[in-house]
Amino acid sequence: MHILIIGAAGMVGRKLTNRLVQDGRIGNKTIEQLSLVDVFEPERPKGFAGKVMTRAADLAEAGVAQALIAGRPDMIVHLAAIVSGEAEADFDRGYRINLDATRALFEAVRQEGLKSPYVPRLVFTSSIAVFGAPFPDKIGDEFFTTPLTSYGTQKAIGELLLSDYSRRGFFDGIGIRLPTICIRPGKPNKAASGFFSNILREPLAGQEAVLPVEDTVRHWHASPRAAVGFLVHAMTMDLSVLGARRNLTLPGLSATVAEQIEALRRVAGEKAVRRIRREPDPTIIRIVSGWPQNFDARRATALGFKAEQSFDEIIRIHIEEELGGKVA
Amino acid sequence: MHILIIGAAGMVGRKLTNRLVQDGRIGNKTIEQLSLVDVFEPERPKGFAGKVMTRAADLAEAGVAQALIAGRPDMIVHLAAIVSGEAEADFDRGYRINLDATRALFEAVRQEGLKSPYVPRLVFTSSIAVFGAPFPDKIGDEFFTTPLTSYGTQKAIGELLLSDYSRRGFFDGIGIRLPTICIRPGKPNKAASGFFSNILREPLAGQEAVLPVEDTVRHWHASPRAAVGFLVHAMTMDLSVLGARRNLTLPGLSATVAEQIEALRRVAGEKAVRRIRREPDPTIIRIVSGWPQNFDARRATALGFKAEQSFDEIIRIHIEEELGGKVA
């Protein structure tokens, strides 16, 4: 198998690459080639027996998608996007990267297939940002997509294109709406959702963290490990069962901030919890109030996608993957 | 008011133009200018006191949208589209006209507003083709959009863009999902939905018509007059009540073919009904089986949109508007 990962230098892209290198195969097939692309050149994975291509390229630029697809990868994983905050701040850039580049990729696959038969699998990461408040208590699989951000709009359009290109037989696509990834490794960032990770990651590393919202705020989470599991499942599952409805809300864990903190207390003790400082931020409170809190992700669950069942588990995965098993 | 109608030469565009010319005003404001655009130059309306501009132009061509918007119309009615069958047959042309041209229009409005404040009202005609089977018995206002045609995909994308551009304040938009228009005047055409009109229009004019499906087929209808009423309401209603959810399924009449035929019998007698020839067509039967049958269009109804309550009424409107009050 030849697998092309676009957005390979991001957090999820790197973890997916590591998993594929470690497995050496996808499903029951050997991975012969990995093509890793991002706006910054992705790191070359170590210890991979097959061929590796790494490239710095902007998918939105003319000719880039065609060049990547000319190698006819068997599977394409499209992770590249600019985040919600940036897509909101820079309207043109958001549409260019999140919509035009995605469409250019889809169109490059179609054009390649017009030369001679070519129908790769294409996995597209969408987002729960395709949904906009007001919501039912649990958002069902047939709830409509009325995004309240340009990012969510661009992802919802990507989903529609994915379905149409798949229905037409240009590729075999699946769109997966990832929960908010928690605990995100790295430094605290300015994303409005950053605190969900910060209030766990920083205390676990002996650092203070700021909680800008009430304890009662509820949100939808999955670990980075679950995210990689989702992608591998999307890359290997039988897609014929999807029919025409190619986009899925993935399972996650619905939890309040209070529940996150209780899990932190159980796993890392009171001293970790004491490192959380409450500093309400009206802007973040307002933004977060429009976000989904809970889903009934029945369809994806029935199709074999799996997320964590508790925040204790999510915290333990972080300690294992990022902290070498040790809490500060 | 300066009103720009794109797609003004089509059936709905002509009827809307006639209504506006007849009223001379929209809401409580005088119409000073009508700009009428289509791929074929629209007819100049007679008896209009204000200024009229007619132009043949392809909105998908570079610079066309900017040129139309440079005149800063107060209201823009975007009716232009290529139909479902053609968008399915010609993938590139469908995306070019139904998606790229729509986006070019929206973007031209935004760019004009970047020069100096400009926030026109924009009415976009969408379609029940944004929905795809399987359906609940009645499709509610929060049912998801999983189109089964490229046309439906393009309309659903137009809706998402309309919402995002409106949310950003680039224009004040409303998207209206028209029911199937019945009775469509003119000649029988090859559209898969054509028979819904043919089986009434042709017998009323003394001609034979072919019914290619079972009597039990149920579908969602509104008259051309209702369509014009929908547009005028969308042009004049208070849009602030829409909040972020800018796209509406409009009310219609859910009726079976048998109910259509019964209405024809009541209005035009048994001799008209005898002009319908049954000739099952497996292709049309298959296509129609994937179409919506019934909606609960609660939100648009509460917002004042009105459709016909019976097929007798729909038939009488046709006799009045197209046949000078007389049945063959």
Residue of B144, B129, B249 lying closest to A141 (CA atoms): B144
Q: How many CB atoms lie within 10 A of CB A92?
A: 10
Helices (H), A116-241: 150-167, 194-204, 224-236
User: Does residue B76 contact residue B139 with C-beta atoms inside 8 Å?
Assistant: no
Torsion of Cα atoms, B148 then B149 then B151 then B154, to 10°: 60
8 A C-beta contact, residue B184 and residue B197: yes
The pLDDT of residue A133? 93
Burial of B111 (0-12, 13-18, 19+ CB in 10 A): middle
CA-angle at B326, arms to B323 and B327, nearest 5° = 95
Residue with more model confidence, B189 or A254:
A254
Burial of A319 (0-12, 13-18, 19+ CB in 10 A): middle
What six digits make up the tokens of B269?
């007698």
Instruction: Specify the pairing of strand B209-211 against strand B276-278.
Output: parallel
Task: Report helix, strand or coil for B189.
Answer: coil
Nearest CB to A157 within list B146, B157, B244: B157
Per-residue pLDDT, averaged over B227-254, amounts to 98
Mean pLDDT in residue range A112-140:
97
Tell me, what amino acid is at B260? Answer: Q
Range B296-324 average pLDDT: 97
- ipTM for the complex? 0.96
- pLDDT tens digits, one per residue of A37-67: 999 999 999 999 999 999 999 999 999 999 9
DSSP notation for B127-149: EGGG--SS--SSB-TTB----SS
Q: Is A125 on the interface with B (CB under 8 A)?
A: no
Q: Would the CB atoms of A163 and B150 count as touching at under 8 Å?
A: no
Per-residue pLDDT, A110:
98
| Span A305-310, average pLDDT | 97
Q: Which of A95, A154, A160 to mutate to test the interface with B (most CBs of B within 10 A)?
A: A160
Predicted pLDDT at B189: 73
pLDDT digits (tens, 9 = 90+) for B26-80: 999 999 999 999 999 999 999 999 999 999 999 999 999 999 999 999 999 999 9
B151 annotated active-site: yes
pLDDT at B84: 87
Q: In the structure, what pLDDT confidence band is assigned to residue A242 with cuts at 50, 70 and 90? A: very high
- Confidence tier at A230 by pLDDT (50, 70, 90): very high
The contacts of residue B168 (CB under 8 Å, 6+ apart) are A91, A150, B110
Q: Residue A109 has what pLDDT? A: 98
Check residue B63 and report its DSSP letter. Answer: T
Residues B177 and B76: their CA atoms lie apart, in Å, by 17
B253 contacts B221 by C-beta, under 8 angstroms: yes
Residue B286 per-residue DSSP state: H
Query: Does residue A167 carry a pLDDT above 90?
Result: yes
- Does residue A102 belong to the interface with chain B, where contact is any CB pair within 8 Å? no
Long-range contacts of A260-264 (CB under 8 A, 24+ apart): A260/A196, A260/A199, A260/A200, A260/A311, A261/A199, A261/A215, A262/A311, A263/A310, A263/A311, A263/A312, A263/A314, A263/A315, A264/A199, A264/A200, A264/A203, A264/A204, A264/A311, A264/A315
3-state secondary structure B150-178: HHHHHHHHHHHHHHHHHHCCCCEEEEEEE
pLDDT confidence of residue B57? 97
Are A315 and A183 a contacting pair, CB within 8 Å? yes
Of B144, B153, B163, the CB nearest to A164: B153
Cβ neighbours of residue B88 closer than 8 Å, sequence gap 6 or more: B94, B149, B150, B151
**Quick check: B244 contacting A, CB < 8 Å?**
yes
pLDDT at position B153 is 98
Would you state the structure tokens that stand for residue A261, as one six-digit string? 């903190």
B146 shares contact with chain A (CB less than 8 Å): yes
Q: Catalytic residue among A95, A118, A151, A165, which?
A: A151
Give the pLDDT confidence of B257-276 residue by residue, as tens digits: 999 999 999 999 999 999 99
Per-residue pLDDT averaged across A232-260, rounded? 98
Domains of chain A: 2-178+223-249 (3.40.50.720)
Backbone angle region of A261, left / alpha / beta, with phi > 0 → left and psi within -120 to 50 → alpha: alpha
Strands (E), chain A: 2-6, 25-26, 29-30, 33-38, 51-56, 75-78, 121-127, 172-178, 180-181, 209-211, 218-222, 247-249, 253-256, 276-278
Q: Residue B105: CA atoms inside 13 Å, Cβ hemisphere, count?
A: 34
Model-level pTM? 0.97
Task: Quick: pLDDT tens for B167-217.
Answer: 999 999 999 999 999 999 998 877 788 999 999 999 999 999 999 999 999
Min Cα distance A254 → chain B (Å) is 22
**pLDDT beyond 90 at A191:** no
Q: What phi and psi, each to the nearest 5 degrees, are found at residue A231?
A: -65, -45
Q: Kindly state whether A135 is in contact with chain B, defined as any CB-CB distance less than 8 angstroms.
A: no
* Cβ atoms A199, A260 nearer than 8 A: yes
A192 pLDDT above the threshold of 90: no
pLDDT at B248 exceeding the cut of 90: yes
Best interface-test mutation with A: which of B98, B110, B153 has the largest number of A CBs within 10 A?
A: B153
Q: How far apart are CA B68 and CA B4, in angstroms?
A: 8
Which chain B residues contact residue A147 at CB under 8 A?
160, 163-164
Residue owning tokens 């079976």:
B256
A88, amino acid identity: E
The verdict on B132 touching A (C-beta cutoff 8 Å) is: yes
| Contact across the interface for A160 and B150, Cβ inside 8 Å | no
Do A257 and A213 meet the contact criterion of CB atoms below 8 Å apart? yes
Question: Cβ distance B148 to B287 under 8 Å?
Answer: no
Please work out, in degrees rounded to the nearest 5, the angle formed at the alpha carbon of residue A158 by the alpha carbons of B111 and A55: 95
Q: Are strands B2-6 and A253-256 parallel, antiparallel or unpaired?
A: unpaired
pLDDT, tens only, A71-89: 999 999 999 999 888 999 9
Cβ contact, residue pair A143, B148, below 8 Å:
no
Q: Would an 8 Å CB–CB cutoff place B92 in contact with chain A?
A: no
pLDDT at B118: 98
Is B144 in contact with A144 (Cβ distance < 8 A)? yes
- Containing B77, the helix (H) or strand (E) segment is strand B75-78
Q: What is the mean pLDDT of chain B?
A: 96
Contact residues, chain A, for B145 at CB < 8 Å? 144-145, 160
**Average of per-residue pLDDT values in chain A:** 96
At a CB cut-off of 8 Å and minimum separation 6, what does B320 contact? none
Q: How far apart are CA B24 and CA B7, in angstroms?
A: 20
CB–CB contacts below 8 A, A to B: 54
Q: How do B121-127 and B75-78 pair as beta strands?
A: parallel
CA dist B103 and B134 (Å) reads: 29
